[in-house]
Amino acid sequence: MKALVALTGAVLLAGCGLQPMYAGGGSGVVARGLADVQVSAIEGRAGWLVRNALVDELGVGAGNGSAARYRLDVRLDDRLESFALLSDDTVGRERRTLRARYQLVEVGSGEIVLDQTAGSDAGIDVVSSDYATIAAEQTALENMAKEVANRIVTNVALRLRGDTSQ
C-alpha cells in the first residue's frame, strides 16, 4: 500500500512540471553558476555578517574573484527602533529591521542580471539587564543576516536557472 501511494505521488509530481533546483549536484547548472559569483565587500558589522553568510551559501568558489563570472553587490539598511513605552517611560520592546538591495552583475559586460531586495525583521524585548538586551540585539542581527543571505542566494539561483517569473 505504501509503495502504491509513493508511486502515485511520484507520478503526480512528475506531471506538474516541478524540477529540482540543484539537479546534477555540484556539476549542475545552478551549482556551477553560484560558484561563479563573487561577493563584494559590504559596509558595517551587518555587512560583514551578510557577506560571510552569502559566501557560505554560495559555495566553494564564492568570493575568490579569480574567475568569477558574476559579482554580487549588496547595500544594507540596518535599523533598530524603540517602541512600546511602559508606564515608567522606559522602552519595553525594540524592532530591528535589515533590508538589502542587491544586484547581480555580469563581470564581463557589466550588465545587471538581477536587481532585487530582501529583508528580515525581529522583535526584541528590552529587559532590565543592558547586557541581555545588547546580546538579544546582536543575536537578532546574526539570525537576520543568515535569513537575508538565504533569500538572496535563492533568488540568484532562480535567476541562474533561467526562471524569469520572479
Residue 23: per-residue pLDDT: 47
Written as tens digits, the pLDDT of the chain (166 aa) is 666 666 666 666 555 554 554 444 445 556 677 888 999 999 999 999 999 999 999 875 544 546 788 999 999 999 999 887 777 777 888 899 999 999 999 999 999 999 999 999 999 888 889 999 999 999 999 999 999 999 999 999 999 887 544 4
Cell of 13: 509530481
Domain residues of the chain, as ranges? 24-161
Identify the DSSP state of 110.
-
- CB atoms under 10 Å from CB of 97, counted, come to 15
**pLDDT computed for residue 83 by the predictor:** 81
CATH class as words, domain 24-161: alpha beta
Give the pLDDT confidence score for residue 34 in this predicted structure. Answer: 86
Q: What pLDDT, on a 0 to 100 scale, did the predictor assign at position 17?
A: 53
Residue that the C-alpha cell 546582536 belongs to: 138
- Sheet bearing 91-106, strands edge to edge: 37-39, 70-85, 91-106, 112-125
- Residue 26 to residues 12, 75, 161, Cα–Cα distance (Å): 27, 29, 14
